[in-house]
Amino acid sequence: MLKSKTFVKKTRSGGVMKVVREHYLRDDIWCGSEVCTECKQDSAVLQRDACIESSLCPYPHYLVPDTNIVLRQIDVLEDPVIRNVIILQTVLQEVRHRSAPVYKRLKDIIHEQGRHFYTFTNEHHRETFIEREPGESANDRNDRAIRVAVKWYSQHLKTAESGSDGLKVVLLTNDQGNKLKAEENGLVVYKFDEYIKSLIGNPELVDCLALSNDDKNEVTSSKVLFPEHLPLSKVQAGIKSGSFLQGTFRASRDNYLEATVFVQGEGEDSTEVLIQGLQNLNRAVHQDVVAVQLLPKNQWVAPSSVVLQDDGAAKDDNVDEDEEEKVLTGPLTETARRATGKVVGIIKRNWRPFCGMLNVSQIKESTRHLFTPADRHIPRIRIETRQASTLAGQRIMVAIDGWPKDSRYPNGHFVRSLGGAGEKDTEEEVLLLEHDVPHQAFSQAVLSFLPKMPWSITPEDMAQRQDLRHLTVCSVDPPGCTDIDDALHYRELENGKLEVGVHIADVSHFIRPGNALDKEAANRGTTVYLCGKRIDMVPELLSSNLCSLRSNVERFAFSCIWELNHKAEILKTRFTKSVINSKASLTYAEAQMRIDDASKNDDITKSLRGLNKLAKILKRKRIENGALTLSSLEVRFHMDSETHDPIDLQTKELVETNSMVEEFMLLANISVAQKIYDEFPESALLRKHPAPPPSNYDILIKAAKSKNVMIHTDSAKALADSLDVAKVDGFQYFNTLLRILATRCMMQAVYFCSGMDSDFHHYGLASPIYTHFTSPIRRYADIIVHRLLAVAIGADSTYPDLMDKHKQSTLCNNLNYRHKMSQYAQRASVAFHTQLFFKTRGILNEEGFVLFVRKNAIIVLIPKFGLEGTVFFDSKDKASPNLVFDEEGPTLKVEQHTFHIFDQVKVTISLDDSNIQHQKIRMALTEPVIPGVSVPVPEAEPQAKKQKLDR
């Protein structure tokens, strides 16, 4: 049966277009129930004995949630207790339009076989499709469609199952109007919370209920604490007229009464508006998109230098705000004032489930408690739970439901427990969740696109590729590396010239554009390396097996091959898809030993020596062009093979072969960047590194000046040259410290699409163009670059998204975000393992260097452990010493001693685990000795441990 849908839509040019869509109605859409004998279905999803123990529904029943239940209560629906659910097409389509994350979560539940969620295509079923009536809103029509489908199911199953005690279909809705109409139609209908509270065996599910608007009123006081948010229409009009600004709300980590709103201007221009005080912050949460109104200039203020954590007992909703905010005000100079505003509306919430811990209420029998998120940018959240005593001391996840104008804190609900605080697995899970690292197991849909095993190279494959299996190819990687992206070869040609090849795993052969595997890799963006753990971007079959260029197996590669002369000048470059057979998988140290061992003269060693010789020439040329050699201390943990706890901590040593591999990877990336840009000037995916603004270098110049060393920062070359000659007699470590400090001055390198930007320059590498081609197993950007290069050389076909600069640019934004979060997650993992390491070490006394000087503290670097920490000179529990801070130096005078950057000091290092959620490495000064400030040197280690226990 054929129906037609007619609607009009506005075109880009402002015209109106009439659209007529054919809508087929069918009578062969099955109900999906085991009970049914009428439908000719192959396999039923909904069970015959659909029993969930409920005091409201003591009979077998199927559940039909409406759209708002799915959107608001997805946390409950994800619980394995909830089974045999009918998801109507009407609901699925509405959820898809209104929330992509909830839609994905719902689809994941539907694909889980044990859950028995069935999608019923009611919009195409002859008996359940309904037309929208004149004057009926789209929302009312959808509600009616849901009721009609529930009624059809009830009657359909009744005829299939004789007797009224049989199976029933229960509609779940929180919409009062919809509920009344359903009751009039004789349907079984309940409010969602009524139904969940009726589940006899699962009282804990009640905690996961998101608060409905009716419930929110009960939790709050009568006093209005915050101004009303303006409706979206007024906000948009205000932004258009220029009376409001739209920007991203960034809460302060150190002061819960302060935030900035980042307003993106035209091109590179952007401004920051300062927000101070509860009323002006007006219930915005970190990373929300908000509308702000600037205050009159006489009300502008300066950023506060006070550290304010919102901890301790819950602030009452009737708390005196002026009292709370008194600490913000300080002496104001005209120059310190910043553009200040207030939040007038929320354009887009950025709420996600937050990890943290429960502050159990002091009131006995209370079910209302405050939750403190691990992320200090997020306010505390008020939740209702009956399992507070169980959850105390656990890391839990909580979602925000809303923030009424008469509540001091947002209201939320418990989602799930992650495990005991301080436990390694729990803390790792928190770290991944808080840095938004996708780490769930790959779904069946993703895995279905992997090649079938056993896999082998076919004659058809060989016909499409160049056979390079005869070449002496080898890979050089860190120890324990199983995802080998790259391999190299070197040989002397008959014409006296040299040939070098960089062979990169051909991941794009296995991951085809647009399938589930490709979408998952694009979303993950990068492999994340934590201490002792790797979260893969692609499934292990590819990352550690079929794509990994392991030794003595045939593998597909994408090869970049150069012909060079002995001065390492490129004469010819070619790119080809190939088949290689690596002759050796070496570690950096093994490769170095081969190069250095004069008795070795096999093919692999000879080619390594040739590569190393060329790499040194390439590196010298790069540095002459102004490339920077910066430094940052990377640490390596030695893990206990049983407990996987860190037993030793060392900074990583770099050998020549690290540099050798790096030089050829850089050369390949530059060669490929030029090739894809020449072919696709509008849609090449490139990587740039912006030059830092001059003010970024202030601290570096001051630090060097304090040791009478001049640093020039007019260009990368000037900086590189001054770093090369920066030396201080008797202070061997000075140059490394200077390079570490220079690294901190740099901007973040980013991916971008060539058609959306004009500045391609890579500052750190001093290269006019650059991309990432050499690590497609662990970076999605490289997969796109492989696809572009394959199209450029005619080895693969193109597809629309690859040539769409807007889509490419959106992809780059996600890759930049994932890359940044992965770096933060890696740092957090190192910090956590450092804490584990020091947990059993008692108090250590180590040498360090002052890296930064602050108003009340010095930041010290301990080279032995690659560890940075802060020595505070003012503490709550004792009188502050006399402190004089000079910003020009910068120097800090503590009593009679003056600290400068790069001063050598000795500090004690110990773990402070008094706050289980935010454990810290504490440092205290032992040398220089300052009476009343420095601490005595701890005794030898066994006593130190004892001393820690006695405390």
Distance, in Å, from the CA atom of 106 to the CA atom of 534, rounded to the nearest integer, reads 28
The string of pLDDT tens digits covering residues 871-898 is 888 766 667 788 888 877 778 888 888 8
Percent of the chain's residues with pLDDT above 70: 88
Nearest to 911 by CA among 850, 810, 840: 840
Q: State whether 816 and 850 are in the same domain.
A: no
Select from 157, 191, 225 the last residue of a domain: 191
Query: In 683-743, which ranges are E strands?
Result: 685-688
Residue 648 inside a domain? The answer is yes
Cα angle: 832, vertex 834, 840; to 5 degrees: 110
Is 435 a domain residue? no
The mean pLDDT value for 271-296 works out to 91
pLDDT higher than 80, residue 609 = yes
635 shares a domain with 495: yes
The pLDDT value given to residue 146: 94
Q: 917 and 817 share a domain?
A: no
pLDDT band at 949 (very low <50, low <70, confident <90, very high): very low
* pLDDT of the residue at 604: 92
Calculate mean pLDDT across residues 506-514: 94
Tokens 């909580």 correspond to: 398
* Structure-derived torsion over alpha carbons of residues 572, 576, 579, 581, reported in degrees to the nearest 10: 30
pTM: 0.79
One domain for residues 807 and 872? no
DSSP 856: S
**Cis peptide before 646, with omega less than 30 degrees from 0?**
no
At 92 the three-state DSSP class reads helix
Exposed / middle / buried, residue 653 (Cβ in 10 Å: 0-12, 13-18, 19+): exposed
> Is 732 inside a domain boundary?
no
Residues 743, 795: Cα–Cα separation, whole Å? 40
- Region label for 532, one of left (φ > 0), alpha (ψ between -120 and 50) or beta (otherwise): left
Mean pLDDT (the chain) is 84
In the three-class reduction of DSSP (H, G, I as helix; E, B as strand; rest coil), residue 300 is classed as coil
The first and second tokens of residue 319, run together, are 């708390």
Q: Quote the pLDDT of residue 388.
A: 81
Question: Could you tell me the CA-to-CA distances from 778 to 390, 526, 536, 781 in Å, in that order?
Answer: 40, 5, 7, 9
Tokens of 337: 């004032």
Cα–Cα distance for residue pair 815/823, rounded to 1 Å: 12
| 801 and 849, same domain (yes or no) | no
Per residue in 440-468, pLDDT tens?
999 888 999 999 988 898 999 899 999 99
Span 41-46, average pLDDT: 80
Tokens of 869: 């920490």
Residue 746 lies in a domain: no
User: Do 576 and 672 share a domain, yes or no?
Assistant: yes
As to burial, measured by CB atoms within 10 angstroms (0-12 exposed, 13-18 middle, 19+ buried), residue 105 is middle
> 187 and 148, same structural domain?
yes
Highest mean pLDDT among 305-314, 370-379, 559-568, 648-657: 559-568
- Same domain for 462 and 392? no
Q: Which of 626, 616, 622, 612 is nearest to 670 (CA)?
A: 622
pLDDT for 721 equals: 83
pLDDT tier at 950, thresholds 50, 70, 90: very low
**Cα–Cα distance measured from residue 313 to residue 370, given in angstroms and rounded to the nearest whole number:** 9
Q: What pLDDT was estimated at residue 682?
A: 93
Q: How many domains does the chain have?
A: 4
Question: Residue 115's domain is classified under what CATH number?
Answer: 3.40.50.1010
Q: Is residue 885 part of a domain?
A: yes
Q: Do the Cβ atoms of 887 and 869 come closer than 8 Å?
A: no
pLDDT at 249 (0 to 100): 94
The whole-angstrom separation of Cα 637 and Cα 650 is: 7
pLDDT for res 632: 62
Among 158-167, 291-300, 936-945, top mean pLDDT goes to 291-300
Q: Per residue in 597-607, is it b (16+ CB within 10 Å) or e — as a string?
A: eeeeeeebbbb
Residue 57 C-beta-side C-alpha neighbours within 13 Å: 24
- % of the chain surpassing 90 pLDDT: 38
Instruction: Write the pLDDT tens digit of every residue in 724-761.
Output: 888 877 777 788 888 888 888 888 899 999 998 888 98
The residue segments making up the domain with residue 10 are 2-191
Question: Nearest CA to 767 among 668, 657, 676, 656?
Answer: 668
Nearest-angstrom CA–CA distance, 923 and 851: 14
Would 477 be classed as within a structural domain?
A: yes
pLDDT-derived band at 947, boundaries 50, 70, 90: very low
Same domain membership, residue 377 and residue 513: no
Distances (CA, A) of 497 to 401, 467, 568, 569, 696: 69, 21, 10, 10, 45
Longest alpha-carbon distance in the chain: 97
Which pLDDT does position 119 carry in this prediction?
A: 93
The pLDDT tens digits for 94-105 are 999 988 889 988
In this prediction, residue 635 carries a pLDDT of 60
Q: Tell me the mean pLDDT in the region 280-291.
A: 92
- Helix (H) / strand (E) element for 941: namely helix 941-950
Nearest Cα to Cα of residue 752 among 668, 799, 670, 682: 682
Based on the domain organization, do 363 and 451 belong to the same domain?
no
- Could you please report the per-residue DSSP string of 326-390? GGG-----GGG-B-BEEEEEEEE-----EEEEEE--SSTT--EEEEEESSTTSPPEEEE-S-HHH
Same-domain check for residues 401 and 472? no
Which of 141-145, 147-151, 372-376 shows the lowest mean pLDDT across its residues? 372-376
Q: Which tokens hold the place of 454?
A: 């056993």
DSSP, res 545: I
Residues constituting the chain: 951
Q: Are 634 and 529 in contact (CB under 8 A)?
A: no
Please tell me the distance from the alpha carbon of residue 359 to that of residue 371, in angstroms, as a whole number.
Answer: 6
Q: Is residue 76 part of a domain?
A: yes
Q: Nearest Cα to 555, choosing from 658, 483, 660?
A: 483
Structure confidence at residue 7 (pLDDT): 66
Grade residue 89 by pLDDT with cuts at 50, 70 and 90.
very high
- Residue 219's pLDDT is 45
Complete edge-to-edge strand list for the sheet that includes strand 570-581:
466-467, 570-581, 554-564, 498-505, 486-492, 474-477, 584-587
Sequential DSSP letters for 770-813: ----S-TTTBHHHHHHHHHHHHHTTSS---GGGG-HHHHHHHHH
pLDDT tens figures, 215-253? 444 444 457 788 899 998 899 999 999 899 999 999 987
Amino acid present at 792: A
d(CA 224, CA 580): 71
> 371-375, 680-684, 715-719: which has the minimum mean pLDDT?
715-719
Q: Does residue 434 have a pLDDT over 70?
A: yes
Instruction: Report if residue 122 sits inside a domain.
Output: yes
Among the ranges given (51-65, 75-89, 316-330), the one the predictor scored with the smallest mean pLDDT: 316-330
pLDDT of residue 577: 95
**Domain identity same for 105 and 147:** yes
Segment among 92-96, 122-126, 857-861 with least mean pLDDT: 857-861
Average pLDDT over residues 684-693: 91
Question: Looking at 367, 390, 421, which one is the last position of a domain?
Answer: 421
CB atoms under 10 Å from CB of 85, counted, come to 24
pLDDT digit string, tens, across residues 288-308: 999 999 999 888 888 765 555
pLDDT in tens, 628-670: 877 665 666 666 555 566 666 656 666 677 889 999 999 999 9
- In this predicted structure, the answer to whether residue 687 has a pLDDT above a threshold of 80 is yes
Q: Which of 146, 176, 191 is a domain's end point? A: 191
